Chain A
Amino acid sequence: MAINDVDVQTKDVVELLGDKVKGPVETSLDICAHCGICADSCHLYAGTGDVEQIPSARAQQLEKVYKRYYTKLGQIAPRLVGAEDLDEEVLDRLQRIAYQCTLCRRCALYCPFGIDNATMVASIRAFLAEAGRIPPALEEHTNNAYEKGNTLAISDEQFLDRIEWFEEELQDAVDDDEATIPLDKQGARILFVPTPIQIMRFPSVIISAAKIFHAVGEDWTLSTRRFDGTNFALFSGEEAKRNEMAQRLVDEMERLGAKVLLLSECGHSYWAMKYAAEHWLHKPLPFKVMNIVELLAQYISEGRIKLDPSVNPKTITYHDPCNLSRKGGLLDEPRVCLEAAAEDFVELSPCREKAWCCGGGGGVITIPEYDEVRLAAGKPKAEQIRESGAEVVATACDNCKLQLMELAERYGLDVSVVGVVDLVADAMIPDEEKE
Chain B
Amino acid sequence: MGYWLAWFVSNVLPFLTAAVFFGGVGYRIFQFWRRPRAAVPLTVPPRQRSLVRTLREIVTEIVSFRRVFRGSKPLWIVSWLFHLSILVFVLGHFRLFLHLDWFWNLLRLTLEQVDLLALIGGGTSGTLFMLGLVTLFMRRLRMPVRSLSVPSDYLLLLLLLAIAVSGNYMRFLMHIELEPYQAFFSNLFSLRLGVPVLNPVFLLHFLLVQVFLIYFPFSKLVHVIGGALTLKWTLR
Q: CB within 8 Å of B: which residues of A?
A: 23-24, 26-28, 30-41, 45, 51, 54, 56-57, 60, 73, 79-82, 105, 108-116, 119, 275-276, 279-280, 325-329, 331, 352-353
The answer for the CA separation of A214 and B113 in the assembled complex, in Å, is 81
List 23 A-B pairs, Cβ < 8 Å. A31-B226, A32-B220, A35-B145, A36-B144, A38-B71, A39-B144, A39-B145, A40-B71, A51-B144, A51-B148, A80-B150, A82-B151, A113-B227, A114-B61, A114-B67, A114-B231, A115-B230, A116-B234, A276-B40, A279-B41, A325-B45, A326-B44, A331-B45
Say yes or no: A31 contacts B147, CB within 8 Å. no
Say yes or no: B233 contacts A279, CB within 8 Å. no
The answer for the CA separation of A184 and B153 in the assembled complex, in Å, is 60
Q: CB within 8 Å of A: which residues of B?
A: 32, 35-42, 44-47, 61, 65, 67-68, 70-72, 75, 79, 139, 143-145, 147-153, 155, 218, 220, 222-223, 226-227, 229-235
The answer for the CA separation of A36 and B119 in the assembled complex, in Å, is 35
Say yes or no: B227 contacts A112, CB within 8 Å. yes
The dominant DSSP class at the B interface is helix
Say yes or no: B68 contacts A36, CB within 8 Å. no
Say yes or no: A112 contacts B44, CB within 8 Å. no
Say yes or no: B71 contacts A114, CB within 8 Å. no
Say yes or no: A28 contacts B230, CB within 8 Å. yes
Known pairs A23-B38, A279-B40 / 9 extra A-B pairs, C-beta < 8 Å: A24-B37, A27-B230, A31-B229, A51-B148, A54-B148, A81-B152, A110-B70, A111-B230, A279-B41
The dominant DSSP class at the A interface is helix
Find chain B residues with CB under 8 A from A79 CB: 151
Partner of A80, one of B38, B151, B226: B151
Name the residue among B71, B75, B79 with the largest chain A CB count within 10 angstroms: B71
Find chain B residues with CB under 8 A from A54 CB: 144, 147-148
The answer for the CA separation of A194 and B148 in the assembled complex, in Å, is 42
Say yes or no: A37 contacts B152, CB within 8 Å. no
Contacts A37-B72, A119-B42, A279-B40 known; A112 to B67 CB distance under 8 Å? yes
Partner of B71, one of A31, A41, A116, A353: A41
